[in-house]
């Protein structure tokens, strides 16, 4: 059973005031010609526009975002170092598609090779780095899939580190956004590399294929992809003020259209939506009754920063309520979910976050157990 606090009280508690005005409407996004697309607010995770976001597709070189993510983990663990010199194998040298033109048998500083992986989308760099890190590309791919599973990327499976076409190699637009949020959240210093427009290696200057980096100075990433079977794909992110958006466009017909569609998505999100922070992580929102415990209640709150994304002008119309389990028996451990915080824009649920115990409560003695058992009968 859940007990609902009066919405107005919760609105006052979070600094919002209810309003009788109608919610501002958001115009529909014009139809885009891409096979799939998705627009998401980075901070709140709210989806603002979507077309088949869970469909499994060939991600092409967007795959290399996971390749880089695993490399960042290995650097953080100390298993590899930027000063390492990476041997270029025959397999890496023979890779087709986009390359940074590595030479077989040469040893190249790992840091330079990561730059080539990200900016030039080098297939040769991806293979060489995977072999250096894990002994073989196959071993490295196991780490990629393990991370996909950990991040709950349910429509993703990798068979290589480059995105080379394979029927068993796929991602979805939603999974791509999940991975992008993880990269930006966990490795913000490494993420800065995705905004670099050009890179030279072996006397050859190559340019980042993300054309939005030249057209919109708020765009700072992320990754392009293209094969004949996948079409033209573009994963983009832009920040204006404190608001960051992530867009994914898959299966566009040309380099130009993938850029145009991505720009349309970003403009749509920034034009019609706004994001607000309601609470800091580990904020206590209320107390929850605990039965048969050493304490009669436990502080209750949220463990992550709480953001909400809404149509512009609707902030004053938000209502909040808390749904608290009224049958909580000790013991309670810190982090146990005991309710939900719900934010509504008039009658539409905008966002829900788990309410968790911010402390632990042990089981009480015999007398407490008896008296609380009786009291509990009158509230259920």
Superfamily of the domain at 36-252: DD-peptidase/beta-lactamase superfamily (3.40.710.10)
**Single pTM value for the model:** 0.88
Confirm whether residue 375 is marked as ligand binding: no
Write down the pLDDT at residue 23: 46
Query: Nearest Cα to 61, choosing from 204, 161, 139?
Result: 161
Write down the pLDDT at residue 30: 86
Write down the pLDDT at residue 112: 96
CB proximity list for 4: less than 8 A, separation 6 or greater: 321, 322, 323
Question: Virtual CA dihedral for 38, 40, 46, 51, nearest 10 degrees?
Answer: -10
Write down the pLDDT at residue 118: 96
Write down the pLDDT at residue 380: 60
CB 316 within 8 Å of CB 19: yes
Predicted confidence pLDDT, tens digits, the chain (380 residues)? 333 333 333 333 343 333 333 346 789 998 899 999 999 999 999 999 999 999 999 999 999 999 999 999 999 999 999 999 999 999 999 999 999 999 999 999 999 999 999 999 999 999 999 999 999 999 999 999 999 999 999 999 999 999 999 999 999 999 999 999 999 999 999 999 999 999 999 889 999 999 999 999 999 999 999 999 899 999 999 999 999 999 999 999 999 999 999 999 999 999 999 999 998 999 999 999 999 999 999 999 998 899 999 999 988 888 888 899 888 999 999 999 999 999 988 878 888 889 999 999 999 899 888 887 888 877 76
CATH 2.60.410.10 fits 2-21+278-377, yes or no: yes
Rounded alpha-carbon distances, angstroms, from residue 344 to 23, 28, 198, 262, 313 = 11, 21, 45, 29, 14
Q: Structural domain boundaries of the chain?
A: 2-21+278-377, 36-252
Q: Which residues are part of the catalytic machinery?
A: 61, 64, 121
Q: Phi first, then psi: give them for residue 125, nearest 5 degrees.
A: -65, -40
User: How far apart (Å, rounded) are the C-alpha atoms in residues 356 and 335?
Assistant: 5
Write down the pLDDT at residue 368: 85
Rounded alpha-carbon distances, angstroms, from residue 59 to 28, 56, 73, 281 = 27, 9, 22, 34
């Amino acid at each position: 059973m859940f007990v609902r606090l009066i919405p107005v009280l919760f609105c006052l508690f979070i600094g919002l005031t209810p309003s009788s005005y109608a919610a501002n409407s958001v115009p529909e996004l014009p139809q885009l010609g891409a096979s799939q697309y998705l627009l998401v607010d980075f901070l709140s995770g709210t989806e603002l526009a979507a077309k088949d976001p869970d469909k499994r597709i060939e991600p092409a070189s967007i795959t290399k975002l996971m390749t880089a993510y695993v490399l960042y983990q290995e650097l953080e663990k100390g298993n590899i170092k930027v000063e390492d010199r990476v041997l270029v194998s025959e397999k890496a040298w023979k890779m087709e598609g986009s390359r940074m033109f590595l030479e077989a048998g040469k040893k190249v500083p790992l840091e330079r090779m990561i730059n080539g992986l990200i900016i030039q989308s080098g297939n040769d760099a991806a293979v060489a780095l995977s072999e250096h890190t894990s002994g073989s590309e196959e071993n490295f791919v196991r780490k990629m899939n393990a991370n996909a599973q950990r991040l709950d990327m349910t429509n993703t499976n990798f068979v290589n580190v480059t995105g080379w076409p394979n029927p068993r190699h796929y991602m979805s637009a939603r999974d791509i956004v999940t991975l992008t949020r993880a990269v930006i959240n966990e490795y913000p210093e490494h993420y800065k590399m995705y905004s670099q427009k050009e890179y030279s290696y072996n006397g050859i200057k190559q340019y980042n294929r993300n054309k939005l980096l030249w057209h919109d100075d708020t765009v700072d990433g992320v990754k392009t992809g293209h094969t004949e079977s996948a079409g033209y794909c573009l994963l983009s992110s832009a920040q204006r003020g404190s608001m960051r958006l992530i867009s994914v466009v898959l299966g566009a017909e040309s380099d130009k259209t993938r850029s145009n569609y991505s720009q349309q998505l970003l403009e749509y999100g920034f034009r019609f939506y706004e994001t607000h922070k309601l609470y800091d992580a580990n904020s206590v929102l209320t107390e929850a009754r605990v039965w048969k415990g050493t304490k009669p209640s436990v502080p209750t709150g949220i463990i992550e920063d709480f953001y909400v994304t809404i149509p512009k002008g609707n902030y004053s119309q938000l209502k909040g309520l808390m749904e608290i389990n009224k049958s909580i028996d000790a013991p309670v451990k810190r982090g146990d979910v005991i309710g939900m915080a719900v934010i509504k824009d008039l009658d539409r649920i905008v966002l829900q976050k788990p309410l968790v115990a911010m402390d632990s409560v042990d089981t009480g003695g015999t007398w407490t157990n008896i008296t609380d058992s009786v009291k509990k009968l009158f509230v259920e």
